[in-house]
């Protein structure tokens, strides 16, 4: 496994209960209830107000109903304090968790690197996100980040799809700031897991 990458498909995570910025409990893996099992899409983002993160999460917010219908629960981590996050994430329809000490980032092997911004593949997405942010700031719909954000600007994204038994279904460690799963990527991986899960139950 590449350096810094601590988990891979099949890795088993210990259960934990986090608290989102609104004070609600978030279970990972999702506690099983009646009906279809719920998958958790745990995504590690950067700092409060990050333009690339904001644009990415808005795409998930717009299609949140599709995630719910697919049995996927979104949990998003930032390495900013909760009080800095709330103004930026209050209208998101999923759980946002503050990890200002980067404890979970370290546990999951999610790193920071200059290549987050210096990788040429990131330049166009950064320009696009900054453009949307500037328009949003002028219209009063986007709050700019702090000039010196908590945890720095060099964080890399990461995605984990976690099954109800705590096993990692799939994961991605980003190579630059815009290297993350799209919502369609998440839905495709969730669908593949459910098809495989159904086959295993049928053959049991």
Query: Is 82 contained in some domain?
Result: yes
* pTM for this predicted structure: 0.90
Query: Is 144 contained in some domain?
Result: yes
| Residue range 31-48: mean pLDDT, rounded | 82
Q: Is the pLDDT of residue 192 over 80?
A: yes
Residue 36: predicted pLDDT: 63
Write out the residue range of the structural domain in which residue 183 sits.
Answer: 16-203
Residue 121: predicted pLDDT: 94
pLDDT digits (tens, 9 = 90+) for 88-147: 898 999 999 999 999 999 999 999 999 899 999 999 988 988 887 787 766 666 676 677
Element (H, E) at 189: helix 183-203
Distance of alpha carbon 43 from alpha carbon 144, whole angstroms:
22
Q: Which of 5-14, 35-44, 109-118 has the lowest mean pLDDT?
A: 35-44
C-beta of residue 159 within 8 angstroms of C-beta of residue 181: yes
Query: Is 9 contained in some domain?
Result: no
User: Which residues are registered as beta bridge partners of 25?
Assistant: 19
Query: Is 8 contained in some domain?
Result: no
State the chain's mean pLDDT as an integer: 89
For the chain, what is the domain count? 1
Query: Positive or negative, the Cα torsion across 203, 171, 92, 84?
Result: positive
Local confidence band at 1 (pLDDT 50, 70, 90 cut-offs): very low
Query: Is 64 contained in some domain?
Result: yes
CA–CA–CA angle 175, 177, 179 (5° rounding): 55
Residue 33: predicted pLDDT: 58
Query: Is 10 contained in some domain?
Result: no
Q: pLDDT over 70 for what percent of the chain?
A: 90
Neighbours of 138 (CB within 10 A): 9
Residue 147: predicted pLDDT: 72
Q: What is the CATH number of the domain that holds 110?
A: 3.40.30.10
Residue 35: predicted pLDDT: 58
C-beta of residue 52 within 8 angstroms of C-beta of residue 129: yes
Local confidence band at 200 (pLDDT 50, 70, 90 cut-offs): confident
Query: Is 4 contained in some domain?
Result: no
Query: Is 80 contained in some domain?
Result: yes
């Amino acid at each position: 496994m590449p350096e810094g990458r601590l988990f891979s498909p099949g890795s088993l995570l210990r259960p934990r209960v986090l608290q989102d910025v609104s004070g609600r409990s978030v279970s990972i893996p999702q506690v099983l209830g009646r009906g279809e099992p719920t998958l958790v899409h745990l995504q590690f983002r950067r700092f409060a107000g990050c333009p690339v993160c904001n644009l990415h999460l808005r795409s998930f917010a717009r299609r949140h109903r599709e995630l719910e219908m697919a049995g996927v629960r979104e949990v998003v981590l930032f390495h900013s304090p909760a009080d800095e996050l709330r103004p930026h994430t209050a209208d998101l329809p999923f759980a946002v968790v503050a990890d200002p000490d980067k404890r979970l980032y370290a546990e999951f092997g999610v790193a920071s690197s200059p290549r987050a911004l210096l990788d040429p593949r990131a330049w166009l997405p950064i320009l696009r996100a900054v453009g949307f942010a500037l328009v949003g700031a002028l219209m009063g719909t986007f709050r700019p980040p702090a000039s010196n954000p908590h945890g720095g600007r060099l964080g890399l994204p990461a995605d984990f799809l976690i099954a109800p038994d705590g096993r990692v279904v799939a994961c991605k460690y980003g190579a630059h700031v815009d290297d993350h799963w799209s919502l369609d990527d998440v839905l495709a991986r969730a669908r593949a897991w459910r098809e495989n899960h159904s086959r295993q139950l049928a053959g049991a």
